[in-house]
Amino acid sequence: MEEKDFTLLDTLGKTRNITKAADSLFTTQSALSKRIMTLEQELGITLMTRSRQGIRFTPEGEIVLAHVRRASETLSAMRAELEASRDYVSGTMSAGISVNYARYILPDILASFRKDYPHVITHISIDQSRNIFTRLLKGEFDLAVVRGIYDWKEKSILLSSENICAVLGRSDAGRELSSIPYIGRKTDAAFEREILQWMRENGLKSEAGIYVDSIETCTEMARRGLGWAIVPEICLKNFDGEIRELVFSDGRAFTRTTYLLYTDEAAKLPQVKAFTEAVQKFHERM
């Protein structure tokens, strides 16, 4: 059964007359009768009976006619939505976002994005950058925001390069770091290697007096004078202790990059394009 058969049966249901239906459909009575016979053979039923008064749908034919009309309404609604969708961005988008970016940056971006594109459904997964990147390679995400540098061959946008800092509470301001307990925290392997390199260059011990798995807990402990910690600038907006920007022995600033990564195929999707533009605009204003 083809979509044109929906119109054929609906017209027969309205006219209850082969001649009138054929005229309305701009076809011949013979062609219309042949198509009815074909449909009856395909469905294994008798759709209608004929008499001098016209046609009458059988009980089975009435069931078919009811379903055909609902199908026609569904198709019409689908076309209306597709036509309307040309005036706004819609669809579904999946994104993998690194933990700290999701905590400190993403809420502001999403608030603006949802206001501008309310018809986009966004699925977000939050994890360590390495795990997000691995899942992106597997095709689980349309796009990803990762912190650090990864070997990605498709679309890549540098969003920011922020300073890495040593933070101390006010009570420890000005003191040598070697005289204060170090507060360690869980982070990804690549960033941990850079931290260890900087500490070796500055003759500092990497053994932590306190070890936590939350960057917020880490900075709060430093603020309260329990030690010092190494954290990215992204989490220091409201920190009121001492902040020291770190530099390697060769003069390079100790920084942490954030990239937006997405596939060439995903770049064709309007909702992905809209989100990447929203992210870029947000960082341009920062």
Give the domain CATH number at 59: 1.10.10.10
Given a contact cutoff of 8 angstroms between Cβ atoms, the answer to whether 149 and 230 are in contact is no
**pLDDT value for 84:** 62
Using CA atoms of 247, 132, 157, 104 in order, give the dihedral in degrees to the nearest 10. -60
- Confidence check: pLDDT of 278 > 80: yes
Domain boundary among 85, 117, 148: 85
> Does 22 share its domain with 132?
no
Domain boundary among 33, 63, 85: 85
Please state the length of the chain.
286
> Does 104 share its domain with 209?
yes
191 Cβ contact list (under 8 Å, min separation 6): 147, 148, 256
Q: Which residue has the tokens 């008798």?
A: 46
Cα 18 to chain centroid distance, Å, stands at: 53
Give the model confidence (pLDDT) of 11-56 as tens digits. 999 899 999 999 888 899 999 999 999 999 999 999 999 888 889 9
Distance CA 155, CA 269 (A): 13
Q: Name the average pLDDT for the chain.
A: 91
**pLDDT value for 25:** 87
> Does 56 share its domain with 107?
no
Q: In what helix (H) or strand (E) does residue 68 lie, and over which residues does it extend?
A: helix 59-85
Segment 132-157 shows an average pLDDT of 93
Given a contact cutoff of 8 angstroms between Cβ atoms, the answer to whether 271 and 161 are in contact is no
pLDDT band for position 210 (50/70/90)? Answer: confident
Give the model confidence (pLDDT) of 224-256 as tens digits. 999 999 999 989 988 999 999 999 999 999 999
Q: What is the CATH number of the domain that holds 223?
A: 3.40.190.290
Domain boundary among 33, 62, 85: 85
> Does 21 share its domain with 124?
no
DSSP-derived 3-state class of residue 167: strand
Q: Which domain covers residue 29, as residue numbers?
A: 3-85
> Does 29 share its domain with 137?
no
Given a contact cutoff of 8 angstroms between Cβ atoms, the answer to whether 65 and 94 are in contact is no
pLDDT band for position 125 (50/70/90)? Answer: very high
> Does 134 share its domain with 250?
yes
Greatest alpha-carbon span in the chain: 108
Distance CA 277, CA 128 (A): 24
Given a contact cutoff of 8 angstroms between Cβ atoms, the answer to whether 8 and 35 are in contact is yes
Rg (CA), the chain: 33
pLDDT band for position 282 (50/70/90)? Answer: very high
> Does 169 share its domain with 209?
yes
Give the model confidence (pLDDT) of 50-86 as tens digits. 888 889 999 999 999 999 999 988 988 887 677 667 7
Helix axes 3-15, 29-43, angle to 10 degrees: 110
Number of structural domains the chain divides into = 2
Helix axes 3-15, 59-85, angle to 10 degrees: 120
- Confidence check: pLDDT of 195 > 90: yes
